[in-house]
């Protein structure tokens, strides 16, 4: 029987999540923390809520457990998972962006940005304005980054 | 890295606040500044990564990225200045160690700092196009430490000193050097090149320049090269061990230039140990070394080739013009073969079978072999010797090997038609006297000549073989037909030679003894009966005979003699003494031949079946000859014939040469006509060039002779001169 190393993540609400190390290092930020020797007790993540943190962990788990093969089944499975994953309301999505940005999880970041881009694509200018107002803070902070992102993905 | 400890379960409550006031930025920065100090002071274990990361994240998020960045720059610079002071203060050999230690710590600290500031690195820096944290750390190190005025020079000098120590044979700390060099490379290839490589190459150049001067004064060529090779290998090893790979080519160029290129000429021509000596003494190791070293420098191999060429040409010239050597043709050719073998071995073993050297060898051999006009004759004599007895008992492979070697020499000949003439003569003698060791060997050589020169060259030679075979069948037929009638007479063996194929001369037949004449006439009748329209002439200068002779005491011997000798000896059946003049009258053999014939019968030791008075080496017209009753020999069969091929005497040589020249005239004319027929109009120089090219494979055409032939063709109205331009010729259909 082998031990798989586990990491504890503590979030904004004070809840702890015990996660396999292999899953925990999907977010690069956490990976660095571990490397630099700061994961002796547990890793505090004060600016992430339980709801968001559990969603993030779920996503990381799924991607780690799926073997990295070129089989059509595995790919299709992953794709449908991702598709369901982002079927959330705008509020949740924007909270997710903040968390994923902080944690630096590339794959998930791309997925969410693409989703938002698709959302914006479909909207009229009025609807876009509405979206901006509701999530003003997010937009103001991320304008630079998302612009870069949009530019590179060429929507 | 975290150890395998059991994790505690702790539940703590945290408050998450997002505040934007400027004091917040100062406070946050203070926390980070403190952290950086701690990291540099090796107190990182007390820090919380997540907290620092979050602080940096918040600063950037709230648009204080600029403050964070500039704060980072000034804090790092502060620390680096402290480090610089500490490194400067270190004494002597500790300098590099201090530098290396601090560098290692700096890189570790930098990594940690970068991880903490990762968010800024990812977002703020790309959008403001500032230098990323890691690169920033390297640049600051470079500017504050490496390029610090007190450190820059000292570093360079220390590195160069260390290399010099190693060159002098001391052991140095290679891993320390490796780390320092790697540091320079990490700071940027231009740092490595400016701060180390360039001065390194300059200093090395000076070092090797003076070393080469030193060595060349006290070493001979072989030893100098060994030393140069050693230094070269040392430098290559040095680069692979602790310098950057890009320096290998540059430093080897320096060594090559200073130690090899600059001393090239002097080395090659060094007395008693230079290239020529190496070649003469077969010093394969030294030759291999000089080849490998010189091929690294421009014109190195060309120098070797040129010196080798002139040496071989000189040596070859001496060989072929040495009067002693020329006395024995077989030895002469054997010498040539030995020379070729020796130099081939050098090119193959030491010069890597380099094609350009093989070509140089070939051109040198071609040059000097043709310096002696008798080379074609001698090569034919060599072959003759081998095919008559030299190859007796040799295996098929050995035969092929020798013949192939001879073919190599043959290819060098410019006057191949001269060779053909002599070869024909010698082959005829071999065939007619039945003295060939192996018909297979003969045929093999003819095949090789055919492959080399074409069908024309060998068609007549093949004709000779055919004649021999046909004659054999004819003789069988003759004896079957005549059978009884010839039972008691001398046994005849006739070879019927087709005139064009054999080198025959039209010498009138001598007077044959009566018994012989009878059977000869019988054959003639038989032959002409079965072959219409042919004419037979007896070639008495080419035949041989076996006669039984009885000497005093009843001793019998079988003598193998030439036809001429037989005619002379048969005269003594009736008398015991004859004068020269009487003999001459009776046999009607031409003077030169007769004298030679009598000489071989009376003056040769162990073969003197005749006695001459007065006793002397040469035959004069006043001599008398007696049958030598007291002749004795251990063997029953005694060979007296002078049928073997020999080096021609002066007059014979002149004659052959004349005939060769005569034969060339029609060939030249045929070539001229061929060319003019195709080109219609051509000027003089071009005709000469074309003709020479066409006939190159047989002989070197003489431009004067070509000119004469053109004029002859004009007379015979094959060509005409152009009315305006005297140098232009036109073909007349």
The CATH fold of domain B653-731: Arc Repressor Mutant, subunit A (1.10.10)
Chain A partners within 8 Å of B129 (Cβ): none
More confident: B279 or B460: B279
Q: Which of A33, A41, A148 sits opposite B8 (nearest CB)?
A: A41
Report helix, strand or coil for B624: strand
Question: Is pLDDT above 50 for A151?
Answer: no
Interface contact B127-A28, CB threshold 8 A: no
Q: Does A89 touch chain B (CB under 8 A)?
A: no
Confidence of residue B14 (pLDDT cuts 50, 70, 90): very low
Encode pLDDT of A120-144 as tens digits. 776 667 776 766 666 655 555 454 4
Q: Do B151-270 and B19-146 have the same topology in CATH?
A: yes
Best of A44, A103, A138, A144 to disrupt the B interface (most B CBs within 10 Å) is A44
- pLDDT value for B199: 95
Q: Is B625 strand, coil or helix? A: strand
- Rounded to a whole number of angstroms, the distance from the CA of A74 to the nearest CA of chain B is 31
Asked whether the predicted pLDDT for residue A29 surpasses 90, the reply is no
Is-contact B382 B328, C-beta < 8 A?
Answer: no
Classify residue B208 as exposed, middle or buried by CB count within 10 Å of its CB (0-12, 13-18, 19+).
buried
B185 CB contacts (<8 Å, ≥6 apart)? B191, B192, B244
DSSP B437-483: S-HHHHHHHHHHHHHHH-HHHHHHHHHHHHHHHHHHHHHHHHHHHHG
Residue B397 has pLDDT above 90, yes or no: no
Give the number of other Cβ atoms within 10 Å of residue B162's Cβ. Answer: 20
Residue B717 and residue B731 in contact, taking contact as beta carbons nearer than 8 Å: no
Q: Is B286 exposed, middle or buried (0-12, 13-18, 19+ CB in 10 A)?
A: buried
* Interface check B118 vs A, CB under 8 A: yes
| CB-based contact, A145 to chain B, within 8 Å | yes
pLDDT digits (tens, 9 = 90+) for B157-179: 999 999 999 999 999 999 999 99
Whole-number Å distance between alpha carbons of B460 and B466: 10
User: Which residues face B637 on adjacent strands?
Assistant: B558
| Contact (Cβ atoms closer than 8 angstroms) between residue B282 and residue B346 | yes
Nearest CA in chain B to A149: B123
| Contacting residues of B for A145, CB less than 8 Å apart | 123, 127
Task: Tell which A residues from 17 to 36 touch B, by Cβ distance under 8 Å.
Answer: 18, 28-29, 32-36
Beta carbons within 10 angstroms of residue B82's beta carbon: 13
* Per-residue model confidence (pLDDT) at position B152: 92
Choose among B491, B482, B551: nearest CA to B522: B482
- With an 8 Å Cβ cutoff, are A145 and B123 in contact? yes
By C-alpha distance, the chain B residue nearest A146 is: B123
pTM for the full predicted model: 0.75
Question: How far apart are alpha carbons A33 and B112 in whole angstroms?
Answer: 9
The stretch A76-80 carries a mean pLDDT of 77
pLDDT, residue B17, reads 45
CATH topology of domain B544-639: Ribosomal Protein S5; domain 2 (3.30.230)
Return d(Cα B618, Cα B598) in angstroms, integer. Answer: 9
pLDDT at A57 over 60: yes
- A39 close to B (CB below 8 A): yes
Q: For the segment B324-346, what is each residue's pLDDT rounded down to a tens digit?
A: 888 888 999 999 999 999 999 99
Nearest to B14 among A14, A18, A104 (CB): A14
Question: Alpha-carbon torsion B18, B21, B24, B25, what sign?
Answer: positive
Q: What is the pLDDT of residue A134?
A: 60
**In terms of pLDDT, which residue wins out, A56 or A78?**
A56
Q: How far is B82 from chain A (nearest CA, A)?
A: 25
pLDDT band at A4 (very low <50, low <70, confident <90, very high): low
Please, what is the average pLDDT of chain B? 88
* Order of strands, sheet of B556-562, starting from the edge strand that comes earlier in the sequence: B544-550, B556-562, B637-639
Interface with chain B: mutation pick from A15, A34, A36, highest number of B CBs within 10 Å: A36
> Higher pLDDT residue, B229 or B20?
B229
B698-720 pLDDT, tens digit each: 898 999 999 999 999 999 998 88
Average pLDDT over residues B646-673: 86
Token pair of B698, please?
Answer: 């047989």
ipTM of the complex: 0.71
Complete DSSP assignment for B84-99: HHHHHH--TTHHHHHH
Judge whether residue B180 has pLDDT over 90.
Answer: yes
Query: Looking at the complex, does the CB of residue B486 fall below 8 Å from at least one CB of chain A?
Result: no
CA angle A31, B35, A27 (to 5 degrees): 15
DSSP A27: S
A33 → closest Cβ in B4, B11, B49: B49
The mean pLDDT of B90-101, rounded to a whole number, is: 91
* In chain B, residues 239-298 whose CB comes closer than 8 Å to chain A: none
Nearest CA distance, B5 vs chain A (angstrom): 8
pLDDT given for residue A132 in this prediction? 66
Strand partners, A18: A8
Q: Which two tokens stand for residue B168?
A: 């002098």
CATH code of B151-270, in short, is: 1.20.1310.10
Question: B379: closest CA among B399, B397, B403, B358?
Answer: B403
Chain B residues touching A41 at Cβ < 8 A: 7-8, 10
What are the phi and psi torsion angles at B360 (to 5°)? Answer: -60, -45
In this structure, CATH architecture of domain B19-146: Up-down Bundle (1.20)
Judged by DSSP in three states, B546 sits in strand
Query: With an 8 Å Cβ cutoff, is B129 touching chain A?
Result: no
Strand segments, DSSP code E, in B359-447 are none
- CA A112 to CA A96: how far, in whole Å? 8
Domain segments of chain B as ranges: 19-146, 151-270, 544-639, 653-731
Question: What does the pLDDT average to over B250-254?
Answer: 95
Paired sense of beta strands B624-627 and B577-579, if any: antiparallel
pLDDT of B325: 84
Rounded to 10 degrees, the C-alpha dihedral B572/B578/B580/B582 comes to -90
Over residues B532-548, mean pLDDT: 87
Asked if pLDDT for residue B68 goes beyond 60, the answer is yes
């Amino acid at each position: 029987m082998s031990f798989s190393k586990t990491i504890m993540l503590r979030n904004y609400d004070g809840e702890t999540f015990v996660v396999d190390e292999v899953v925990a290092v999907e977010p690069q930020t956490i990976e660095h923390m571990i490397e630099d020797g700061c994961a002796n007790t547990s890793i505090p993540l004060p600016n992430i809520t339980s709801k968001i943190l559990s969603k993030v962990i779920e996503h990381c788990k799924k991607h780690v457990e799926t073997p990295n093969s070129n089989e059509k089944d595995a790919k299709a499975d992953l794709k449908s998972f991702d598709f369901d994953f982002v079927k959330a309301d705008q509020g949740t999505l924007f909270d997710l962006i903040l968390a994923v940005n902080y944690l630096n999880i590339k794959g998930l970041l791309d997925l969410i940005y693409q989703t938002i881009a698709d959302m914006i694509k479909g909207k009229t200018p009025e609807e876009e304005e509405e979206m901006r107002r509701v999530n003003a803070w997010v937009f103001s902070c991320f304008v630079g980054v998302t612009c870069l992102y949009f530019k590179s993905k060429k929507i | 890295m975290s150890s395998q400890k059991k994790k505690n379960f702790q539940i703590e409550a945290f408050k998450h606040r997002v505040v934007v006031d400027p004091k917040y930025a100062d406070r946050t920065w203070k926390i980070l500044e403190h952290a950086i100090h701690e990291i540099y002071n090796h107190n990182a274990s007390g820090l919380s990564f997540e907290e620092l990361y979050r602080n940096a994240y918040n600063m950037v998020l709230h648009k204080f990225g600029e403050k964070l960045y500039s704060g980072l720059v000034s804090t790092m610079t502060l620390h680096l200045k402290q480090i610089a002071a500490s490194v400067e203060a270190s004494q002597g050999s500790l300098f590099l160690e201090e530098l290396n230690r601090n560098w290692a710590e700096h890189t570790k600290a930098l990594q940690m700092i970068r991880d903490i500031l990762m968010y800024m690195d990812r977002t703020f820096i790309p959008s403001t196009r500032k230098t990323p944290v890691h690169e920033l750390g390297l640049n600051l190190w470079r500017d504050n430490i490496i390029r610090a005025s007190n450190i820059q020079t000292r570093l360079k000098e220390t590195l160069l000193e260390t290399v010099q120590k190693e060159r002098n044979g001391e052991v140095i700390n290679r891993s320390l050097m490796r780390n320092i060099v790697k540091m320079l490379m990490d700071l940027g290839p231009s740092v490595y090149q400016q701060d180390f490589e360039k001065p390194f190459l300059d200093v090395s150049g000076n070092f090797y320049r003076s070393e080469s001067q030193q060595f060349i004064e006290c070493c001979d060529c072989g030893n100098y090269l060994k030393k140069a090779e050693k230094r070269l290998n040392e430098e290559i090893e040095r680069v692979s061990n602790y310098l950057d790979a890009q320096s290998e080519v540059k430093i080897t160029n320096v060594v090559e230039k200073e130690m090899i290129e600059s001393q090239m000429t002097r080395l090659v021509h060094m007395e008693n140990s230079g290239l020529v000596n190496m070649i003469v003494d077969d010093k394969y190791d030294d030759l291999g070394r000089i080849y490998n070293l010189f091929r690294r420098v421009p014109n190195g191999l060309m120098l070797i080739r040129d010196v080798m060429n002139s040496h071989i040409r000189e040596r070859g010239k001496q060989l072929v013009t040495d009067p002693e050597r020329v006395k024995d043709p077989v030895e002469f050719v054997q010498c040539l073969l030995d020379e070729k073998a020796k130099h081939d071995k050098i090119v193959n073993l030491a010069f890597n079978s380099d094609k350009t050297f093989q070509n140089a060898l070939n051109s040198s051999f071609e040059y000097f072999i043709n310096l002696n006009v008798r080379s074609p004759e001698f090569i034919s004599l060599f072959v003759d010797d081998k095919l008559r007895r030299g190859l007796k008992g040799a295996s098929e492979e050995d035969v092929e090997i020798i013949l192939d070697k001879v073919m190599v020499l043959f290819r060098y000949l410019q006057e191949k038609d001269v060779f053909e003439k002599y070869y024909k003569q010698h082959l005829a003698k071999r065939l007619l006297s039945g003295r060939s060791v192996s018909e297979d060997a003969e045929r093999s050589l003819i095949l090789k000549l055919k492959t080399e020169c074409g069908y024309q060259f060998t068609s007549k030679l093949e004709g000779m073989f055919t004649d021999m075979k046909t004659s054999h069948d004819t003789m069988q037929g003759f004896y079957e037909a005549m059978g009884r009638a010839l039972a008691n007479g001398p046994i005849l063996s006739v070879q019927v030679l087709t005139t064009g194929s054999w080198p025959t001369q039209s010498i009138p037949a001598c007077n044959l003894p009566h018994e012989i004449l009878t059977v000869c006439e019988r054959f003639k009748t038989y032959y002409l009966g079965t072959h219409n329209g042919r004419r037979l002439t007896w070639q008495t200068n080419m035949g041989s005979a076996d006669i039984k002779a009885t000497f005093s005491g009843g001793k019998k011997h079988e003598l193998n003699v030439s036809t001429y000798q037989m005619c002379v000896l048969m005269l003594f059946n009736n008398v015991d003494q004859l004068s020269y003049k009487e003999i001459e009258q009776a046999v009607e053999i031409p003077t030169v031949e007769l004298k030679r014939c009598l000489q071989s019968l009376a003056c040769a030791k162990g073969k003197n079946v005749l006695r001459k008075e007065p006793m002397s080496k040469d035959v004069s017209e006043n001599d008398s000859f007696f049958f030598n009753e007291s002749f004795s020999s251990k063997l029953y069969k005694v060979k007296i014939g002078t049928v073997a091929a020999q080096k021609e005497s002066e007059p014979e040589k002149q004659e052959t040469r004349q005939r060769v020249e005569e034969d060339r005239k029609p060939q030249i004319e045929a070539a001229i006509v061929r060319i003019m027929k195709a080109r219609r109009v051509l000027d003089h120089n071009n005709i000469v060039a074309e003709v020479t090219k066409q006939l190159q494979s047989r002989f070197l055409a003489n431009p004067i002779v070509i000119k004469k032939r053109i004029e002859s063709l004009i007379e015979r109205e094959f060509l005409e001169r152009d009315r305006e331009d005297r140098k232009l010729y036109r073909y007349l259909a």
